[in-house]
Amino acid sequence: MEYKSNNNVVYSCRYHVVFCPKYRRAVLVDGVDVRFKEIAAQVASELSFEVVEMEVMPDHVHLLLDVDPQLGVHRAVKRIKGRTSHDLRSEFPWLKSRIPSLWTNSYFVSTVGGAPLAAVKRYIEAQKEV
């Protein structure tokens, strides 16, 4: 397992994130998908988190993010959704006529990797004896 660190935290926090355009419309096509990937990579670079994997389907997006816990996955997702909505709707005006806003308010997130919960609990319990 690969760990990252900042000034006071060593971490490995990976998240699988999925979100959809409003009304699950298939609008992530005809170059919108390619541009989405570029903008998401820019946001990741600006906020210092990593997009490990990314797949854009016509009606939803899958991201695998490695995010500093002090930043929080919610801030990373909020910034990606906000920036891509703003930029894509200005670069592809036809998006404005298809849907009132690009993304739904909701998203799916799940942690990825690491040891099973039981193993982590045993490890923590064993620390009392060290």
List phi, psi (to 5°) of 95.
-65, -35
**Is 3 one of the annotated active-site residues of the chain?**
no
Residue 3: what pLDDT? 87
Quote the pTM value.
0.86
Q: What CATH code would you report for 9-129?
A: 3.30.70.1290
- pLDDT band of 32, cuts 50, 70, 90: very high
Residue 118: what pLDDT? 72
Q: How many CB atoms lie within 10 A of CB 68?
A: 19
CA dist 128 → 28, 97, 123, 124, 125 (Å): 52, 61, 9, 8, 6
Residue 115: what pLDDT? 59
Marked catalytic residue, from 3, 11, 107, 123: 123
Does residue 20 register a pLDDT over 80? yes
Does residue 71 register a pLDDT over 90? yes
Mean pLDDT on 5-22: 91
